[in-house]
A and B are shown apart, each in its own frame.
Chain A
Amino acid sequence: TQLLEQSPQFLSIQEGENLTVYCNSSSVFSSLQWYRQEPGEGPVLLVTVVTGGEVKKLKRLTFQFGDARKDSSLHITAAQTGDTGLYLCAGGDNYGQNFVFGPGTRLSVLP
């Protein structure tokens, strides 16, 4: 059974600080996706990484896929209150049909 772990589970920081959240597994994934979910809404896709060692940047967010495609990290620079939410990672298989979700990191950015 493929499992994804995320750390930390909860994170509360001040606006302007930097942070990194992690997504780890003992399994290899063909792709890995990061989502952000706000209360009362569905998750919104932030990025998909598919190549080992790949780094993608989305404004203040930097995503990295581990060389072995078993882990990923999300780094946020100069966090803003609008970054508050539940960050989920999901690993996909070769067929792009089966996804395994991590338990999420709940981020609170305080003004």
Chain B
Amino acid sequence: GAVVSQHPSRVICKSGTSVKIECRSLDFQATTMFWYRQFPKQSLMLMATSNEGSKATYEQGVEKDKFLINHASLTLSTLTVTSAHPEDSSFYICSAVDEKLFFGSGTQLSVL
């Protein structure tokens, strides 16, 4: 099946700093990628849809200026958590479509 690579797998940062998470489709082109947030023992919560070459579409309640998404190429989307605070600590997952939906391995963000 298709491979989606997500990096880093784990990041710890200080409050107020920004963190960038990368999502790459390794063997296919993805015009659309999705970013999710997942709290412990809960399901996935869609944050935004990343569209190559255009602005991302954010779900209701997700702050656009807080979670910056850039989809500059057909194989790479990035999510930047700006001015991170402890409440932003969570598991972030990306996915991309290649006929089916494939997921990255997730990024555990811990903000101190």
Tell me the A residues contacting B by CB distance below 8 Å: 31, 33, 35, 40-45, 48, 86, 88, 90, 92, 96-97, 99, 101-104, 106
Contact = CB atoms under 8 A, between A and B. Distances in A.
Contacts of B106: 40-42
Given A31-B100, A101-B43, A101-B44, 13 more contacts: A41-B105, A42-B103, A42-B104, A42-B106, A44-B103, A45-B102, A45-B103, A48-B100, A88-B43, A99-B97, A103-B43, A104-B44, A106-B41
Given A43-B93, A96-B99, A86 B104 contact: no
Given A41-B105, A48-B100, A92-B101, A97 B41 contact: no
Contacts of B102: 45
Interface of B: 1, 4, 6, 32, 34, 41-44, 46, 91, 93, 95, 97, 99-106, 108
B29 to A, nearest CB: 13
Contacts of A104: 42-44
Given A45-B100, A96-B99, A97-B32, A40 B108 contact: yes
A43 B103 contact: yes
Mostly, the A contact residues are strand
Given A101-B43, A103-B43, A96 B105 contact: no
B93 A42 contact: yes
Contacts of B108: 40
A33 to B, nearest CB: 6
A40 B109 CA distance: 11
A97 B46 CA distance: 14
A90 B101 contact: yes
Contact of B1 (A45, A97, A102, A106): A45
Contacts of B41: 106
